Structure 1
């Protein structure tokens, strides 16, 4: 057998392995109950409490599963309203913590509330955009302030909260940390530069942390959605690729045993494959950037 034949055979084998891996991943996303089923008592077996940044429909889902929930946000009125709603609908326990994650001096109060509790799940789902309409870095209004806010809210908050809850999870040998990234972290993303870079940090930090603590019985997973209709995205109208928060929250929980990184839905998995196939030179072109900006602006307007 010649060297050329060996190279062709090895290249073909590698291609088959890569393609087979992608098909296997797609199968898992299509039928999570078959490939990565969650026992009925999965969430309650993690611990007695779940912690959420922001007021999230995930907190309602976990309360329905039998966990007490701790919700953290900067708006006391909305927190109290959400707590009453969860208590009325599920009868579960709810604690609220008022905190603005763009600030530095909030973690002592958070630690005081959660210390000693049996925290089974942490969902780091807070995040902000530098501006609702994407733009080049130097075109961002109040750029210095936005840099500070993005790092504090999208990066530091996740790391600090992991620091607070991870010791207890390690001691008990169980727990889930779900860190919310973004689909645009998968590619170089001009006009979303600050936001995308902060979400790349979320992914790399989470993957490394999972490698460190998987043997302790802790699941640390990144979920990277594309379109979810929230206040951050201007409450865009839900469609085939833009989910309501409730739809995405319910769907993403199915994939907690599907690996250290998912898109949270089959639709966003397929979209991720399409996005990652776009040549880098296209993303870097002025034409693409302007058209993408106009597309987002139009969706927000509508």
Structure 2
């Protein structure tokens, strides 16, 4: 199967393409540079559409995603200098500000809708295809301090489920397109900021191998059995006491937030000390 990669960073596109070519020399790889957070969505998807023109895309994986730099209150996350009251200048980490939520909607929702709009007509004409939309367990379980992220992922679940009903199946009205929403929990990736793997936090390779076994079988899945157990356990706890579960998760998120702010403060202090030392040397 040949591969088309779409991302905003050319260096990462090239590196990934080189990896694929090294492992699968007979496969062709095409790179398309596109920034899904760009406010000019018309230009972005016109460009992507031109790059995909004439290609028979059999499998579409919508995996682009944007989350918070760290858990934060909704109103504070939209401030230009988010976290100043807690951690001084160190807390004004990159990514915060009024544009964060707009970028998140464009990246997590608008990109998925438009990529499906561009690719699915060809699948419908050929009466076959597969769309895998990457959501998150955040759409199923409480995630205060990641409110916008969880809300965008709930859209992914609903959008995927209804598309699968509309276009799945081989009957009179079906077009034999499988649309699946995969909702992982924590995976050891750069976005999760978790480096060490465990039974509950798999490596990307372990997760993907597990998730692919569900393609065509389950329209909505976590893709990984331990994550399913986690979701079921939390849903059971919510059924007993929703308020208690919400408080428990909130306290956990506040702990993660506090650690992130301390880390940012420490990094800022180290930068200031380095700048001071450089100025002294001069």
Give the structure-2-normalised TM-score: 0.78
- Counterparts of 1:118-267 in structure 2, within 5 Å, are 118-131=56-69, 133-140=70-77, 141=82, 142-214=96-168, 215-267=174-226
Q: 2: CA distance between counterparts of 1:299 and 1:270?
A: 28
| CA contact 2:72–2:257 (8 Å) conserved in 1 | no
Q: Aligned pair 1:282/2:219, yes or no?
A: no
Report Cα offsets for 1:159-202 as digits up to 9, x if no partner. 00000001000000000000001012103421110000000000
| CA contact 2:144–2:253 (8 Å) conserved in 1 | no
Match of 1:88 in 2: 22
Change (3 A) 1:116 1:271: same
Match of 2:36 in 1: 101
Match of 2:227 in 1: 268
| CA contact 1:236–1:299 (8 Å) conserved in 2 | no
RMSD: 1.9
Q: 2: CA distance between counterparts of 1:230 and 1:297?
A: 21
273-282 or 85-94, which deviates more: 273-282
Change (3 A) 1:99 1:297: farther
Match of 1:28 in 2: none
Deviation, 1:88, is 1.6
Of the three residues 232, 247, 255, the one matched with 1:294 is 255
| CA contact 1:73–1:100 (8 Å) conserved in 2 | yes
- Secondary structure, counterpart of 2:99 in structure 1: helix
- Secondary structure, counterpart of 1:278 in structure 2: helix
Deviation, 1:235, is 3.6
| CA contact 1:189–1:283 (8 Å) conserved in 2 | no
Change (3 A) 1:245 1:296: farther
- Secondary structure, counterpart of 1:102 in structure 2: coil
Moved over 4 A (4+): 295-301
Q: Aligned pair 1:112/2:53, yes or no?
A: no
233-242 or 199-208, which deviates more: 233-242
Aligned residues: 233
Match of 1:77 in 2: 11
Give the structure-1-normalised TM-score: 0.73
Name stretches of at least 5 consecutive residues in structure 2 with no aligned partner: 83-95, 169-173, 264-282
